[in-house]
Chain A
Amino acid sequence: MSPRMRLWLVATGGAGLAALLVAACLDLPRFGGDRHPYGDQAVEASLSRHTANTVASVTFDQRAFDTLGEMSILFAAVLGSVVLLRQTRDEHRARPEPAAVSRPVRRYALLVLPVALLTGLYVVAHGQVSPGGGFQGGVVAATALHLLYLGADYRALERVRPIAPYEAGDALAASAYLVTGLAALLAGSAFLANTLLPYGTFNTLASAGTVPLLNAAIGMEVACAVVVLLAGFLDQAVEIVDEGEHDDGEYHDDPRQRGK
């Protein structure tokens, strides 16, 4: 199809869809309206389970089955990108040269790294009482590790980040979530029922029953998943060389110039 023809098609389809969406928007309840039946019940249910952060209660208790699916998507994506970004037979690895890092950058990165890691863990641990949780904390912690790349170099990163344990960690965290769900079933309740642990004192770390457990499992899963995902792409961008590329060893372009 010629670009012109495609543009016509997009214009026609887009105009139709736009008309439909605008008409629908005019029929929607007004923005900021007061009618949220499901939401109100979710808040009640959350309070009855001593969970201060209602969103955590919806994510890890009331609709924990959705989160199982979401976690599986992440798990599948990690497995999928490991498969898709594997080193194929016609490719080889070129070791990147160590690059000099200016001292302020190094100092900054090495200073921020532990802070960021701790922040990530803190966010994971407090998911049931304050905004945040496994996803947010996991991503922060995983990204923090990559400050090493900024502060030292790729090789330093590779030393603290052997991929295999992270892949295993990803899978084990996924299993932990499933096993927590199955344990409730075996205990005579329903799958993923929040009945295993006491609900604890409202607004403390030990509250909300199994929510913190699932939260931790997700946090670990997300952190491992992000590490493995980034590793796959870094590998491709920095190390793996195929026939169509520079592979004469003279390629010392510092990835940070573009990578950051």
Chain B
Amino acid sequence: MTEALIVTALLLVAGSATAAVAVRDPVRQSLVLAVLGVVLAVLFTVLQAPDVALSQLAVGSALTPLLLLLTVRKVRRRGQRAAGGGGGSDGRRGGGSGP
């Protein structure tokens, strides 16, 4: 019984990790990463590591995706303007080495 649980959890981890890499859109990726965090927490519980499972749940499925989403939001907010005004590569780049 435990063995079946462990194998299932392991396969889920492998699957969701692969999905997290394969999904190229950062917003979707952060959702998949949240799922990966939950699945990892389940795996750790089955592996009798409740301490790690708790922190993985807090960090991996809440904090990290939240940070990723906030970053996406910041970057997108810039991107909208850049797409509209062509300000993508504005004059504040560092150096004279651009081609």
Is there a contact between chains A and B in the complex with CB atoms less than 8 Å apart? yes
**Interface presence of A244 (CB below 8 A):** yes
- Picked from A53, A243, A259, the residue with its CB within 8 Å of the CB of B69 is A259
Tell me whether A140 and B58 are in contact (CB under 8 A).
yes
Distance (whole angstroms) from the CB of A61 to the closest CB of chain B? 14
Tell me whether A123 and B62 are in contact (CB under 8 A).
no
25 contacts between A and B (CB under 8 A): A53-B51, A131-B51, A132-B50, A132-B54, A135-B55, A139-B55, A143-B58, A143-B63, A229-B67, A237-B73, A242-B78, A243-B90, A244-B78, A244-B82, A244-B87, A244-B90, A245-B78, A245-B81, A251-B77, A255-B73, A258-B69, A258-B72, A258-B73, A259-B69, A259-B73
Instruction: State which residues 70-89 of B face A: CB under 8 Å.
Output: 70-74, 76-78, 80-82, 87
Tell me whether B67 and A136 are in contact (CB under 8 A).
no
Chain A, interface size: which category? 20 to 34
**Interface presence of B27 (CB below 8 A):** yes
**Interface presence of B92 (CB below 8 A):** yes
Tell me whether B70 and A233 are in contact (CB under 8 A).
yes
Tell me whether B58 and A237 are in contact (CB under 8 A).
no
**Interface presence of A73 (CB below 8 A):** no
**Interface presence of B59 (CB below 8 A):** yes
A55 with B74: in contact, given A136-B58, A139-B63 (CB under 8 Å)? no
Residues of chain A within 8 A (CB-CB) of B78 are 242, 244-245
User: What 5 A-B pairs have minimum CB-CB distances, sorted nearest first?
Assistant: A131-B50, A139-B58, A233-B70, A136-B54, A237-B70
